[in-house]
Amino acid sequence: MEQQDATISQICIDTFARIGASISHEIKNTLSIINENAGLLEDLAAMAGDDGGVSGERIKGATASIARQVERSNGIMKNLNRFAHSGDVPIAWVNLKEVLDLVIDLSSRQAAMKRVVVTHTCPPAVECRTKPMAFEVLLYELFCRVYNSAEEEADLLIEGGEQASSIVVEIRPSDRHASWSLPAPDARLLPLINHLGGTFHHEQEVFSLTLPRDIMADPAS
């Protein structure tokens, strides 16, 4: 058990580092755009001082771009903060839709690198008691693995729901006639699935993850 816990902890630490690195790249991009537009505003201010012939639309465009990037940066940091605090409580009730929203946002850069379009659905009231950090790490690793295996510009559907005493996350190409195959769980995913008392069903183009709705009621916990 101690060895399993150490393995899970190491996977979570590694994933946290990967997410931090990804987010730092996103923040760097937003700061670069803000800096570029700040330079433009400085140039426009200098032009206004010369003859006053500065287009108001150009100023509005630059300030709007800065505002968008500030809002984007704020959203990125809020997501990182939520993910970081998921480890505050070892076991807790979580809303499945909120978890999917968070992890899909955190992994959006990896999807964008393959130009994968992700659509996700989940009823708003589905909840489960689980280990939040391990659950989010599992989904992040799973989604990134799927994105990396996908064809360029593929459409991916992620569906969350519940069945009896379980919750289910299903991943498949939006086009059921798509030719690419989803990967089977690897050495990083399997320990996490087992740690959460879950099971998986893998076919060529569909991956279903099933976890207990209440991990405290599951003997694997």
Do residues 213 and 104 both lie within one domain?
yes
Model pLDDT for residues 74-85, shown as the tens digit of each residue: 888 998 999 999
Do residues 184 and 138 both lie within one domain?
yes
CATH of the domain at 173: 3.30.565.10
Do residues 73 and 124 both lie within one domain?
no
Do residues 117 and 46 both lie within one domain?
no
d(CA 9, CA 18): 14
- Residue 54's region, left for phi above 0, alpha for psi from -120 to 50, else beta, is beta
Whole-model pTM over 0.85: no
Domain count, the chain: 2
Do residues 175 and 66 both lie within one domain?
no
Do residues 180 and 201 both lie within one domain?
yes
Do residues 110 and 206 both lie within one domain?
yes
Do residues 116 and 181 both lie within one domain?
yes
Do residues 79 and 125 both lie within one domain?
no
Q: Which of 64, 85, 106 represents a domain boundary (last residue)? A: 85
Model pLDDT for residues 144-176, shown as the tens digit of each residue: 999 988 888 889 999 999 998 999 999 988 876
Do residues 77 and 97 both lie within one domain?
no
Task: Select, from the ranges 25-29, 122-126, 176-180, 186-190, the one with the highest average predicted confidence (pLDDT).
Answer: 122-126
Q: Which domain holds residue 20?
A: 2-85
**114 with 145: CB under 8 angstroms?**
no
Question: Hey, which residues does 210 pair with through a beta bridge?
Answer: 168, 199
Percent helix, strand, coil in the chain, to 5, is 55, 20, 25
**66 with 37: CB under 8 angstroms?**
yes
Model pLDDT for residues 101-133, shown as the tens digit of each residue: 999 999 999 999 999 999 999 999 999 999 999
Of 58-67, 91-100, 119-128, 195-204, the range with the lowest mean pLDDT is 58-67
pLDDT over 90, % of the chain: 44
Q: Which of 63, 85, 107 represents a domain boundary (last residue)? A: 85
Do residues 97 and 201 both lie within one domain?
yes
**Is the alpha carbon torsion for 181, 187, 192, 197 positive or negative?**
positive
Q: Which of 55, 85, 115 represents a domain boundary (last residue)? A: 85
Residue 178 has pLDDT above 70, yes or no: no
Do residues 96 and 187 both lie within one domain?
yes
